[in-house]
Amino acid sequence: MVASSRNDEERMGVKEAVQWLWNAVKIRAKMKFWLFRGTTPEEVLEKLKVASNTDKNYKYYSKYFFKYYVKYPGRQPPNLPTKVADGIMQARLHNWLEKRLTPPQVFKEMGFTGTFASARGDPTYKYFVQYSKMWSDLQVRLVKEADEVMKARLDTWLEKNLSPPQVFKKLGFIGTFDSARGDPNYKYFEQYSKMWSDLQ
């Protein structure tokens, strides 16, 4: 009797988990559709039947709210509380970073014209400065990751006992060693040549 009761509880637990997951997938699909159609946050609030921030669908509404104003910045009301407006701007910065927009592209996206120096007096310029730092940090991280990937390749080639001329070709170089010296990847060839000669 106890085993049967436990199995029923497990089945109910699995059934509830599947139902919860299915509902979450449906809501996310609806949100993508609403965002595509430009459904306002107020309309979504009604569709999700959210009456307070303790409702179960409030988290979906909150995500939609920020995504909406990231996608449609021109529709953002001017009288939003500072904290909310800042949250929307932070979401935009992260969206631009995901899209790999460069600082000059973001400068234009923010509606600035002219030089960086000419925009310094604008209150939203601080977000451009923040984005420039985020972009710079990303570049450092990407270079580090690329170096780690290349180091792994060099180790693999060394295990296969490839000669420096073979690695030169693997790195995509043609012509002479001297003609490739200006390429940023030439440092990997030099690094490999040293690793290879150390083993000989």
Predicted confidence (pLDDT) per residue in 55-99, tens digit = 888 999 988 988 898 888 878 888 889 999 999 999 999 999 999
Cβ neighbours of residue 31 under 8 Å, at least 6 residues apart?
Answer: 44, 60, 63, 64, 67
Q: Give the confidence band of 19 by pLDDT, cuts at 50, 70, 90.
A: confident
Rounded to whole angstroms, the Cα distance separating 140 from 25 reads 36
Predicted confidence (pLDDT) per residue in 1-17, tens digit = 545 555 655 666 778 88
In this structure, which amino acid lies at residue 57? N
Cβ neighbour number for residue 37 with a 10 Å cutoff: 8
Mean pLDDT of 151-167: 93
Rounded to whole angstroms, the Cα distance separating 80 from 24 reads 29
- Helix (H) or strand (E) holding 6, with range, is helix 2-37
Output the pLDDT for position 200.
Answer: 81
Rounded to whole angstroms, the Cα distance separating 42 from 77 reads 12
Output the pLDDT for position 134.
Answer: 97
CB–CB of 150/188 below 8 Å?
yes
Please calculate the CA angle 142-102-32 and round it to the nearest 5 degrees.
90
In this structure, which amino acid lies at residue 86? D
Encoded tokens for 6: 């436990």
Mean pLDDT of 37-63: 90
Mean pLDDT of 118-143: 94
Rounded to whole angstroms, the Cα distance separating 158 from 193 reads 10
Name the CA radius of gyration of the chain, rounded.
27
- Least confident interval from 5-9, 127-131, 193-197: 5-9
